[in-house]
């Protein structure tokens, strides 16, 4: 895959005929909408094709295949979307549109605000897409409140309100961006898409920007989702890495809330982060949401609460969204409902709790790679260290040049070598005379004297020569020598220099970047336990039907339940199934027992007395049914044909009753009446066969 903007498709043989050349993306359908960042939603339009391509589908006698042509076109298109639109680069943490926006803002930066519409127009010199996508990407950058200083209505990430039109809002680069993002001397440049301008390959950012801002993007065949992290924690992690210490990184969201990061998985695929809103009690009947989960808005949360209430999942009287600069959603709880249970229900049935799946995909060496957030930070810190070393090397070269120029000027003036120019009739003669005069002093210099050096000396003005202060010049040279020594020391101790740089950045810009998201482990909330009982369960035992629908209201009432409950259904022969409650369902004729099933419930005990087969022995058992596969049939008995449940009780608190059992009279039977105390039986698993009670028939 290549990033060459001027690349043209090589001609291909297509059934003996070369295919016409075209630019990247020609004739390829656009990817589906839904990308998170603005530039992921727009691609170059497919130009109309004519001529030889029309003839390919009109030839008589058969169908012509376009396999070879589409194979190469799609590969080019996929490469373009991955490298040039949707996935950020690991070195600067930016997508191309973001990089071009920042570069365009730097070119017009004069310290004052610029209209966003003007910034968009400036960016279009570098970005081959529409102005709408550039403006959306700029707004998203501005809402992160790190690189761009915004003025005007830039929308609200809490409520989801959009920003005003580009002609009404203004922006300029923040002081932080000017400090850490740009340096022309260490930037690698390339030609823009039309060849008229130069743009950076990557910006020399000396900060883990990708992890600070986060990133979303949908490409062809892969996606990237990197969560934002805390500014100060990132700097601490960079320092720890440079000093050889271990570190951990966890997300910190601008919307606050609480997060369970126990399955973060270093931001790689397969991980998940649960984020909850912060809900507090104002009084016994009033709740307030003051922080919301990342990826949600107050409007989406309000709508999810209303829908859950309409479906009967929760019971509330009223919900009001009073959000302005801070989140405030006020919920009035129903009079007959517990506020604690309502809070759990809000987490279970609304957007007050969301699960976010990270997928840290980045561009590295012109290819997509899946890297954990710690590896991304290590590479960012190492790259920052390299950039600082490069800046020091450039600075050292400039200081050496300054020392050489100052020393050469002092020699030229103090030894009155300018007098050698008198009488020279040509420039060449003057240059030669000065160069010859400098010969005895060249050993005092640190590099060779070039023709440019000599030319610069001959162009010194007489007033500068006449006012030359030797003592001042010596002091300036001494200061340069001290700076050279310090720069060499910093290069030799580059790690310590980089650590000091990070600490300086934290001290200068760290205020106001305290952690907003509280990290904690969440207790699991079972939806069935907090759901409101908004339905009634009925059963037709003879016909084998059960459900909560209107068609079942004439049947036998069983109990109150919710429409998300599971029910357990037994037949007389001991077969049972656990299934989700529905309007009307059929299991089998002769339903013996039906009730609401609670998964992982260890307290509910089933006391059973059953006959194994038609004339088999009588067995007794006590068991708990904690977890089974939904809609799979099980057997409470041994499974012998024509087995029958003689007695069964379902005890929510593990009660053990005593039965009085009457046997059928028969010769030599001493006891016709026997007590069966279930408390003497051990509680076993649902698959246990039970203990022998009797081989005689029960009356």
Q: Residue 19 in contact with residue 72, Cβ under 8 Å?
A: no
Sheet with 329-333, strands from edge to edge, namely: 278-283, 286-291, 329-333, 316-321
> What is each CA distance from 551 to 214, 559, 570, 584, in whole angstroms?
52, 16, 22, 8
Catalytic residue list contains 168:
yes
pLDDT digits (tens, 9 = 90+) for 384-404: 999 999 999 999 999 999 999
Q: Are strands 618-624 and 17-18 parallel, antiparallel or unpaired?
A: unpaired
The answer, as to whether pTM is greater than 0.85, is: no
**Is 5 a residue whose pLDDT tops 90?**
no
pLDDT digits (tens, 9 = 90+) for 550-600: 888 888 898 888 877 889 999 999 999 999 988 888 988 889 999 988 888
- 402 or 4, which is more confident: 402
Range with the largest mean pLDDT of 6-10, 17-21, 54-58, 105-109: 105-109
How long a stretch of residues is the chain? 699
CATH topology of domain 532-694: Neuraminidase (2.120.10)
Question: Which listed residue (77, 168, 418, 509) is catalytic?
Answer: 168
**Is 430 a residue whose pLDDT tops 80?**
yes
Distance CA 368, CA 347 (A): 36
pLDDT category, 28, cuts 50, 70, 90? very low
pLDDT of res. 106: 96
**Is 318 a residue whose pLDDT tops 50?**
yes
**Is 294 a residue whose pLDDT tops 50?**
yes
- 670 or 46, which is more confident: 670
Distance CA 97, CA 166 (A): 17
**Is 299 a residue whose pLDDT tops 90?**
yes
Q: What is the DSSP letter of 360?
A: -
Distance CA 587, CA 567 (A): 12
Q: Which of 132, 129, 189 is nearest to 166 (CA)?
A: 132
Q: What is the mean pLDDT of residues 434-442?
A: 87
293-307: buried (b, 16+ CB within 10 Å) or exposed (e) per residue? bbbbbbebbbebbee
CATH 2.30.30.60 fits 96-205, yes or no: no
Q: Residue 697 in contact with residue 664, Cβ under 8 Å?
A: yes
Q: Residue 352 in contact with residue 279, Cβ under 8 Å?
A: yes
Q: Which of 285, 350, 341, 343 is nearest to 532 (CA)?
A: 341
pLDDT of res. 466: 81
Phi, psi of 622 (to 5 degrees): -125, 130
CATH topology of domain 379-509: Topoisomerase; domain 3 (1.10.268)
Residues 6 or more apart whose CB falls under 8 angstroms from that of 69 comprise 12, 14, 19
In this structure, the number of other CB atoms found within 10 A of the CB of residue 142 comes to: 23
Phi, psi of 456 (to 5 degrees): -65, -35
**Is 412 a residue whose pLDDT tops 90?**
no
> What is each CA distance from 481 to 496, 634, 660, in whole angstroms?
22, 88, 107
Residues 6 or more apart whose CB falls under 8 angstroms from that of 438 comprise 408, 411, 412, 417, 449, 454
Tokens at 607, concatenated: 């006391």
Domain assignments of the chain as residue spans, ordered by start: 13-86, 96-205, 273-356, 379-509, 532-694
Q: What is the CATH number of domain 273-356?
A: 3.30.1360.40
Residues 6 or more apart whose CB falls under 8 angstroms from that of 461 comprise none
3-class DSSP state for residue 496? Answer: helix
pLDDT category, 155, cuts 50, 70, 90? very high
pLDDT of res. 298: 94
575-593: buried (b, 16+ CB within 10 Å) or exposed (e) per residue? bbbbbebeeebebeeebbb
Q: Residue 324 in contact with residue 243, Cβ under 8 Å?
A: no
Number of H helices, E strands in the chain: 17, 34
Q: Which residues pair with 567 in a beta bridge?
A: 579, 596
In angstroms and rounded to an integer, the radius of gyration of the C-alpha atoms of the chain is: 39
**Is 3 a residue whose pLDDT tops 80?**
no
Range of lowest pLDDT (341-345, 520-524, 531-535, 687-691): 531-535
């Amino acid at each position: 895959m290549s990033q060459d903007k001027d690349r043209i498709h090589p001609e291909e043989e297509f059934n003996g005929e070369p295919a016409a050349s075209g630019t990247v993306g020609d004739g390829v359908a656009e990817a589906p909408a839904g990308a998170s960042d603005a530039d992921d939603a727009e691609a170059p339009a497919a130009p109309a094709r004519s001529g030889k391509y029309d003839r390919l589908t009109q030839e008589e006698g058969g169908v012509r295949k376009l396999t070879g042509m589409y194979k190469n076109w799609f590969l080019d298109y996929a490469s373009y979307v991955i490298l040039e639109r949707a996935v950020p680069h690991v070195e600067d943490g930016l997508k191309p549109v973001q990089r071009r926006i920042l570069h365009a803002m730097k070119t017009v930066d004069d310290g004052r605000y610029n209209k966003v519409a003007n910034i968009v127009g400036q960016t279009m010199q570098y970005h081959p897409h529409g102005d709408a996508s550039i403006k959306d990407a700029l707004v998203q950058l501005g809402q992160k409140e790190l690189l761009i200083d915004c003025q005007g209505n830039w929308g609200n990430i809490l409520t989801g309100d959009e920003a005003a039109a580009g002609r009404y809002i203004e922006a300029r680069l923040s002081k932080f961006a000017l400090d850490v993002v740009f340096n022309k001397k260490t930037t690698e440049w390339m030609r823009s898409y039309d060849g008229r301008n130069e743009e950076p390959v990557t910006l020399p950012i000396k900060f883990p920007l990708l992890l600070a801002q986060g990133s979303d993007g949908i490409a062809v065949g892969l996606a990237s989702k990197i969560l934002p992290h805390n500014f100060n924690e990132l700097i601490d992690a960079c320092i720890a890495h440079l000093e050889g210490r271990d570190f951990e990184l966890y997300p910190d969201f601008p919307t606050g809330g609480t997060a369970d990061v126990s399955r973060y998985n270093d931001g790689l695929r397969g991980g998940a982060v649960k984020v909850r809103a912060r809900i507090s009690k104002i009084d016994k009947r009033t709740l307030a949401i003051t922080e919301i989960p990342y990826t949600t808005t107050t409007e989406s949360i309000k709508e999810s609460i209303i829908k859950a209430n309409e479906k009967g999942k929760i019971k509330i009287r009223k919900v009001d969204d009073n959000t302005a600069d801070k989140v405030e959603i006020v919920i009035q709880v129903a009079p007959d409902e517990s506020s604690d249970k309502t809070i759990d229900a809000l987490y279970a049935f609304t957007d007050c709790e969301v699960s976010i799946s990270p997928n840290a995909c980045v561009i590295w060496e012109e290819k997509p790679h899946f890297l954990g957030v710690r590896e991304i930070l290590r590479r960012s810190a190492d790259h920052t260290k390299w950039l600082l070393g490069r800046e020091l090397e450039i600075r050292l070269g400039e200081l050496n040049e300054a020392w050489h120029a100052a020393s050469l000027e002092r020699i030229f003036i103090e030894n009155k070598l300018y007098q050698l120019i008198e009488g020279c009739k040509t420039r060449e003669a003057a240059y030669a005379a000065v160069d010859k005069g400098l010969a005895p002093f060249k050993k005092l210099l640190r590099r060779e004297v070039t023709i440019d050096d000599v030319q610069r000396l001959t162009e010194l003005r007489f007033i500068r020569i006449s006012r030359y202060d030797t003592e001042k010049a010596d002091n300036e040279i001494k200061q340069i020598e001290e700076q050279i020594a310090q720069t060499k020391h910093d290069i030799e101790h580059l790690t310590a220099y980089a650590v000091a740089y990070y600490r300086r950045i934290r001290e200068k810009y760290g205020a106001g970047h305290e952690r907003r998201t509280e990290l904690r482990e969440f207790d699991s909330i079972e939806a069935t336990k907090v759901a409101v009982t908004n339905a009634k369960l009925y059963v037709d035992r003879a016909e084998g039907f059960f459900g909560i629908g209107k068609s079942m209201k004439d049947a036998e009432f069983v109990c109150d339940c919710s429409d998300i409950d599971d029910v357990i259904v037994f037949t007389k022969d001991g077969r049972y199934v656990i299934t989700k409650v529905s309007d009307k369902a059929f299991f089998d004729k002769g339903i013996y027992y039906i009730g609401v099933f609670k998964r992982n419930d260890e307290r509910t005990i089933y006391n059973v007395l059953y006959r194994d087969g038609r004339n088999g022995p009588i067995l007794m058992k006590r068991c708990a049914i904690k977890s089974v596969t939904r809609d799979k049939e099980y057997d409470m008995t041994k499974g012998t044909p024509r087995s029958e449940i003689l007695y069964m009780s379902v005890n929510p608190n593990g009660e053990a009753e005593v039965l009085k059992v009457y046997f059928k009279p028969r010769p030599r039977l001493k006891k016709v009446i026997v007590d069966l105390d279930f408390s003497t039986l051990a509680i076993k698993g649902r698959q246990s066969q039970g203990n022998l009670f009797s081989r005689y028939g029960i009356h």
